[in-house]
Structure 1
Amino acid sequence: MNPGIDSGPGACLAPALHAVARLRAGRLARSSKPFTARGGSRRPHCTGCRLVLSHCTCALRRTLATRAGVCLLMHDTEPLKPSNTGWLIADVVADTFAFGWARTSVDPALLALLREPQWQPCVVFPTEGLADGRAVADVQALQAAAQASAAGHAPGPRPLFILLDGTWAEARKMFRHSPWLDHLPVLGLTGGGPSRYWLRHASADGQWCTSEVAARCLELAGDGTAATLLTAWLDLFTERYELARQQRAVRPDSAAQRRLAAVAPA
């Protein structure tokens, strides 16, 4: 068990484990030594939100049913990092799936998910420099299907966004060495402002954290409320994480908490 996570007396009543939490638990069970995050706190942490108990956000968590699903393909230690934002996606989006990535093997459950007829999967990754013949997702078709769904028409399979969760260098390696994804179209996101997430620094301009990428995908799929909620949830997590790091008290009237309450009232 990670010594920074407390599941004993005094821990909050955390929500049921979601896909990323289960992946994290499995990764910890296989560890030969405890995972210690750089700069991590040794104070007791909540098992549900990973924050120190005094800054827990579990009571504010809201999960939504969405038309789109999110499939996280996570690099080895990514589920263990307290600043990972894939966790936040699973907090908000009910149909979130999470799998560990390995170069030499693939989880059979991931392959089964990709074959399910209810889903239309695509890999979210920059389309510049794609190999010849690699299909590119049709953004206009995605938006048209979202509009049809909103109008009550049956638009066909639901979009399933596959996000490669890791550093930029790790994501590139995952994209290049995952032959089981080669038959899927690639969705490249363009435009957008700079990343709002500053707990981990991007290696270049125009790179967003995993949660921000998911929010943009949800918007394309017509799940605007979920996209807004996920953005507000990221802001609150970032605020609480930094307040805990500085050993400053929670501010219930903070701008981040007001934004979250406006999207998803208690």
Structure 2
Amino acid sequence: MALAPHAVHRLYEYRKSISTKPFGARGKKLIRCPLCLLGEQFCTCSLRKQLTTQASFLLIMYNDEVLKPTNSGRLIADLIPDTHAFLWSRTDPAPELLALLSSDHYQPFLVFPAQYADQGQTVLSQVPMATLAKGKRPLLIMLDGSWREAIKMFRKSPYLQGLPILSFDPDTLATYALRKGSHDFQLGTAEVASLALAAMGEEANGKALTAWFDLFVESSLLGRNRRCREDILPISDFTNAFEVAYTAATP
């Protein structure tokens, strides 16, 4: 049975409803699934499964980011049941967003590079699960947009100031980027979320999200007809890799 639409799906529909013109994504002539935004032939919605996790995620998305078929933030919501998504606003943040930040049920951590931390701001490399207040679970905040947009959100959001920052050292990022084949060590939102899950002791869940991201990337490239060489792995290899990673993460 297919899973119900999640927070990013709902935000996508809302953002479309207030648009004055269609979003002109690359490959706009491709017939896409309305949920995963992949080409219908390569839709992954039937494969989506939810992980068992103590993590919650808050995606703060820059304006058009939620409309982009290449956005990887939606992959977090695909697998993590307690995921929330809002459009970014400097002056008029959603009341529901502010309520999450002050909720007795969550301990927020802003996932962002330590080099941008204000003086005196707490910077962590691991989520201190053992010392969280009773009844609280980590709320991992992801600023979802281009790198320039993420910095703008960080600097111009008073409601984020003073939150503890979860940051990863350069060696961790470099190793991950090398394995992933990323450029300039600027990882996608879902890739950083995988590291955040590992930082709270959920390495298997992090690997499952990484495998889901790999499947998403390959399916996206297939939709653009950019996977035609004989040396490219078949899509079934990525599907199977996700199933294996998900099984390993399932209690």
Task: Give TM-score scaled by structure 2 length.
Answer: 0.86
Deviations 1:6-42 (A, max 9, x none): xxxxxxx9642111111111000000111111x2242
Provide the secondary structure at the position in 1 that maps to 2:236.
coil
Contact 2:117 2:123 in 1 (8 A): no
CA distance in 1 between counterparts of 2:143 and 2:236 reads 35
Aligned partner of 2:162 among 177, 183, 208: 183
Establish whether residue 259 from structure 1 lines up as the match of residue 241 from structure 2. Answer: yes
**Correspondence for 2:92 among 89, 105, 113:** 105
The answer to whether residue 4 in structure 2 is matched with residue 16 in structure 1 is yes
Q: Is the 8 A contact 2:108 2:163 kept in 1?
A: yes
Letter in 2 for 1:246: N
Percent of pairs identical after alignment?
Answer: 42
Matches within 5 A, 1:141-152: 142-143=127-128, 145=130
The count of aligned residue pairs is 240
3-state SS, counterpart of residue 77 of structure 1: helix
State the AA in 1 paired with 2:91. T
For 1:197 and 1:28, the matched residues in 2 are separated by 32
Q: Distance in 2 between matches of 1:248 and 1:130?
A: 41
Aligned to 2:54: 67
* Contact 2:218/2:235 (<8 A) preserved: no
Provide structure 1 residue ranges, at least 5 long, that are not aligned to the other structure.
1-12
Q: What RMSD in Å do the two structures reach over aligned CA positions?
A: 2.5
TM-score (norm 1): 0.82
Partner of 1:233: 212
243-252 or 121-130: which moved more?
Answer: 243-252
State how 1:156-167 maps to structure 2 within 5 Å.
Answer: 156-167=135-146
Check conservation: 1:88, 1:234, Cα contact below 8 A.
yes
1:42 aligns with 2:24: no
* Structure 2 CA distance for partners of 1:247 and 1:171, relative to 1, 3 Å: closer
1:65 deviates by 2.9
Are residue 31 (structure 1) and residue 19 (structure 2) matched? Answer: yes
Q: Structure 1 residue 136 and structure 2 residue 119: aligned? A: no
- Map of 2:112 onto structure 1: 125
Deviations 1:114-155 (A, max 9, x none): 11111100111111143223x224445x2552xx89xxxx86
SS at match of 1:64: coil
The answer as to 2:192 corresponding to 1:210 is: no
Q: Once the 2 structures are TM-superposed, how far is the Cα of residue 86 of structure 1 from its aligned partner?
A: 0.2
Higher helix share: 2
